[in-house]
Amino acid sequence: MDRGLNTRCLHLEETEGTVNNYGAISFPIYQTATYAHPEVGQSTGYDYSRLQNPTKEHLEKIVAGLEGGTDALALSSGMAAITLLMEIFKPGDHLIVEADLYGGSIRLFDNVSSKNGIDFSYVDCSNDNVENYIKESTKAIYIETPTNPMMNVSDIQKLAEISKKNNLLLIVDNTFLSPYFQNPLKLGADVVIHSGTKFLGGHNDTLAGFIVTDREDISEKLRFLIKTTGAGLAPFDSWLILRGIKTLGIRMERAQKNAILLADWLKEQSIVTKVIYPGLPEHPGYEIIKKQARGFGSMITFNVDTKEHALAILKKVRMIKFAESLGGVETLITYPTTQTHADVPEEIREKNGITACTLRLSTGIEDGEDLIAELETVFKNIDETD
C-alpha cells in the first residue's frame, strides 16, 4: 500500500532504518563543492557537487516520489529547468505549445530556443484540435494546466493519447497545482516541469526548478545535460525546498480554501467583470480538472471594469502584496501586463485574454476573512474616489 502524500512529503521510505547522518531529523546540508576519495578507483558515491550532492539528491528523490516519477532533477530555477529540457531537442524539431503560457517560457522559446533552430506553434490546447498542428518534424506537446494566467484547463489524458499515437513527448508544467493536487505522469505525460520557487518551496525565499520523468531514456539525456551545463540546485537551496515540501499539503489545502472563498466573493463585486477560477462550476474546464486532479489550486485571475481601477487596486493593497510570484504563504497580487507577460506582444496578450484590466491573485494561508476585509476596503476606497 502506497503511503499518503503528506507522509511522502516528510519521509523517504528507502532511507528509513539507516543510521546515516547521525540520526538528524532535518536532512543535513552538505555544503561542499568536492569530495575526498579513499584511493584511485574508489569513491564515496559523490565526486563533485555539480554532478551530485547528498542534499540535492535527497530532494530529487522526494519530488520524484511525489510525482510518481523514477527520476527528478533539481535545478537553479524553473526557467533553468525549461532551458535544460529544450536541450534534448535539435535544430529542425517542432513543438506544439499551449498559447497561454507563463511569459518567461514564451520569451525563452521565441528568443533562445528558436535561435537554436527549434520551431514552435502556439495552440489553445484546451480547445483546439491539437492533431491538426502535428507535422513530420513535431517532437512534443508542451502545456501548462491550469495555464498562467488565464486558467485554461487541458485534458492531460487526451493529450497523452494523441502524443503516444504520434510518437511525441507530452510535457506538462505542473507548477500551478503541484504534485499534491495533480500528477501528470500518472495520466500519461512523459515529463513534468515545476518552478520549485512556487508551491514546493512555498515561502518566497528561494529559487528552484524541477524536471521529473518516468522514462529512463529521457532521464539519461537530462543527467548528462545537467552535469555538462552546471545548472543544478545548490545544497542550501535544496534544503530550503526540502523544508518547504514538509508542509506542502497543509499549505495547499489552506490556500485553496481561501481561493474558493475569494473567488465566490469577487463574483459579487460590482467593480469585477470576470472571475476565472477552475474551482467554479461555471469554469469551462471544471469537469476536466475534477477528473484529473485532486483539487483546484489557489490561483485566481479576475478582470475589473477599467485599467484605472486595476492600477488603483495594486497601489492600495497593503497586507496583500503587489509582487511577481505565486505559491507562497503570503497572498500576492500580480499585474500580468507589466510583470509576468510584459515580454509577450500586446496583440498576443489580448488574443489570450490578458488585458490592462486583468489581475492575478495567488492566495496564501492568511485568515480568509482578513483577505476579504482588505479587498473590501480597497474596493470601497476606489468607489469613493470615482
The tens digit of pLDDT for each residue in 274-285 reads 999 999 999 999
Known catalytic residue: 50? Answer: yes
Q: How far is CA 281 from the centre of its chain?
A: 23
pLDDT at 44: 87
**Burial of residue 321 (number of CB atoms within 10 Å: 0-12, 13-18, 19+):** middle
d(CA 13, CA 65): 10
pLDDT, tens only, 280-301: 999 999 999 999 999 999 999 9
Mean pLDDT estimate for the chain? 96
Check if CATH label 3.30.479.10 holds for domain 249-385. Answer: no
272-276/299-304 β-pairing: antiparallel
Q: Residue 254 — φ and ψ, nearest 5°? A: -65, -45
Q: Is 149 helix (H, G, I), strand (E, B) or coil?
A: coil
* pLDDT reported for residue 127: 83
Of the candidates 82, 19, 21, the residue with the CA atom closest to the CA atom of residue 57:
21
How many whole angstroms separate alpha carbon 74 and alpha carbon 234? 9
| Three-point CA angle 250, 232, 54, nearest 5° | 70
264 is catalytic: no
Beta strands in 228-357 (DSSP E): 272-276, 299-304, 321-322, 332-334
% of the chain beyond a pLDDT of 70: 99
Whether the Cβ atoms of residue 149 and residue 357 lie closer than 8 Å to each other: no
Q: Which long-range contacts (CB under 8 A, 24 or more apart) does 63-66 make?
A: 63/179, 63/194, 63/196, 63/200, 63/210, 63/212, 63/245, 64/212, 65/8, 65/12, 66/5, 66/8, 66/9, 66/179, 66/180, 66/183, 66/245, 66/248
Per residue in 156-206, pLDDT tens?
Answer: 999 999 999 999 999 999 999 999 999 999 999 999 999 999 999 999 999
Rounded to whole angstroms, the Cα distance separating 249 from 247 reads 6
Question: What is the number of residues in the chain?
Answer: 386
**CA–CA dist 95, 278 (Å, integer):** 26
**Structure-block grid coordinates of residue 170:** 507530452
Burial of 253 (0-12, 13-18, 19+ CB in 10 A): middle
The one catalytic residue in 93, 173, 190, 214 is: 173
pLDDT of 35-81, one tens digit each? 999 899 888 899 999 999 999 999 999 999 999 999 999 999 999 99
Check if the beta carbon of residue 100 is closer than 8 Å to that of residue 124.
Answer: yes
Q: Residue 293: its pLDDT value, please?
A: 99
DSSP, residue by residue, 124-135: -TTTS-GGGG--
Span 293-318, average pLDDT: 98
**Domain regions of the chain by residue span:** 5-245, 249-385
**If you search the block for the grid coordinates 528509513, which residue do you land on?**
16
> Is residue 96 exposed (0-12), middle (13-18) or buried (19+ Cβ within 10 Å)?
buried
Active site residue 48: no
- Say how far apart CA 371 and CA 361 lie, in whole Å: 11
pLDDT of 1 above 70:
no
Which tens digit of pLDDT belongs to each residue from 202-235? Answer: 999 999 999 999 999 999 999 999 999 999 999 9
Residue tagged active-site, from 8, 56, 139, 198: 198
CB atoms within 10 A of CB 65: 22
321 vs 324: CA distance, rounded Å? 9
**pLDDT tens-digit series, residues 245-260:** 999 999 999 999 999 9
Helix, strand, coil % over all residues of the chain, rounded to 5: 40, 15, 45
Check whether 339 has a pLDDT greater than 80: yes
Least confident of 17-21, 309-313, 339-343: 17-21
Catalytic pick from 50, 61, 257, 290?
50
3-state secondary structure of 309: helix
30, 102, 277, 335: the active-site residue: 102
Q: State the pLDDT at residue 20.
A: 76
Q: Tell me the three cell numbers of residue 264.
A: 465566490
Does residue 14 surpass a pLDDT of 90? no
Does the annotation mark 139 as catalytic? no
Would you put residue 230 in left (φ > 0), alpha (ψ -120 to 50) or beta? left
Q: What is the pLDDT of residue 19?
A: 62
pLDDT in tens, 141-164: 999 999 999 999 999 999 999 999
Write out the E strands in 233-298.
272-276
Say if CB 254 and CB 143 are below 8 A apart: no
Task: pLDDT band for 16, please (50, 70, 90 cuts).
Answer: confident
Residue range 5-245, CATH number: 3.40.640.10
Cell 489581475, located at residue: 359
